[in-house]
Amino acid sequence: MMTSKGGLGEPHSGTRIFLEPEALTILGTYKCTAACENCCFGSNPFITKRLDLAQILSFVEEGARYPTCKLVVFSGGECFLLGKDLVSAVKYAASLGMHTRCVTNGFWARRIPHGRRRLRELVEAGLAELNISTGDFHQRWVPQESVINAACIAAEFGLKPMIMVEVRKDRSVTSETFAADPRIRELIEGEQLSIIESPWMPMDYRENIEQPQHRLLNRRTLHLRGGCTSVLKTIVVTPDQRVGYCCGLTRELIPELNADWAGGTLDDILTAGVRDFMKVWLFVDGPERILAWAASKDSRIDWEDRYAHHCHSCLALFDDPLVREAIRANYRERVEDVLARYVALLRTDQSVHYVDAEN
Check whether residue 238 and residue 195 sit in a common domain: yes
Please indicate, yes or no, whether residues 212 and 345 belong to a single structural domain of this protein.
Answer: no
For 74-112, give one letter per residue: b (16+ CB within 10 A) or e: bbbbbbbbbeebbbebbbbbbeeebebbbbbbbbbbeee
Are 101 and 142 in the same domain? yes
Whether 12 maps to a domain, the answer reads no
85, 191: one domain: yes
Based on the fold, state whether residues 336 and 311 are members of the same structural domain: yes
Identify whether 274 is part of a domain: no
Q: Does residue 217 fall inside a structural domain?
A: yes
pLDDT of residue 20: 85
Same domain, 258 and 344: no
Write the DSSP string, 144-191.
HHHHHHHHHHHHHTT---EEEEEE-TT-S--HHHHHTSHHHHHHHHTT
Instruction: Express each pLDDT in 118-145 by its tens digit.
Output: 999 999 999 999 999 999 999 999 999 9
Residues 223 and 306 in one domain: no
Percentages of the chain per state (helix, strand, coil), in multiples of 5: 40, 15, 45
* Contact status, residue 79 vs residue 86, Cβ threshold 8 Å: yes
Q: Of 210, 230, 264, which residue is a domain's last?
A: 264
| Residue that finishes a domain, picked among 216, 234, 264 | 264
First-to-last C-alpha distance (Å) of the chain: 11
Q: Is residue 5 situated within a structural domain? A: no
Q: Are residues 256 and 284 in the same domain?
A: no
Query: CA 5, CA 257: separation in Å to the nearest integer?
Result: 10
Domain match, 289 and 243 both? no
Q: Are residues 120 and 93 in the same domain?
A: yes
Last residue in a domain, options 220, 238, 264: 264
What's the pTM?
A: 0.91
Per-residue pLDDT of the chain (359 residues; tens, 9 = 90+): 234 333 433 333 344 446 789 999 999 999 999 999 999 999 999 999 999 999 999 999 999 999 999 999 999 999 999 999 999 999 999 999 999 999 999 999 999 999 999 999 999 999 999 999 999 999 999 999 999 999 999 999 999 999 999 999 999 999 999 999 999 999 999 999 999 999 999 999 999 999 999 999 999 999 999 999 999 999 999 999 999 999 999 999 999 999 999 888 899 999 999 999 999 999 999 999 999 999 999 999 999 999 999 999 999 999 999 999 999 999 999 999 999 999 888 887 655 544 433 43
Q: Which residues of 296-320 are buried (b: 16+ CB within 10 A; e: fewer)?
A: ebeeebebbebbbbbbbbbbbbbeb
DSSP secondary structure, 36-105, as one string: -TT-TT--BTT---B--HHHHHHHHHHHHTSTT--EEEEESS-GGGGTHHHHHHHHHHHHTT-EEEEEE-
- Cα of 359 vs its chain's centroid, Å: 33
Residues 57 and 198 placed together within one structural domain of the fold = yes
Residue 8 lies in a domain: no
Domain contains 66: yes
Residue 11 lies inside a defined structural domain of this protein: no
Pair 207, 297 in one domain: no
Residue 359 lies in a domain: no
Q: What is the CATH number of the domain that holds 213?
A: 3.20.20.70
Burial of 3 (0-12, 13-18, 19+ CB in 10 A): middle
Report the domain count for the chain: 2
Give the domain extent around 65: 17-264
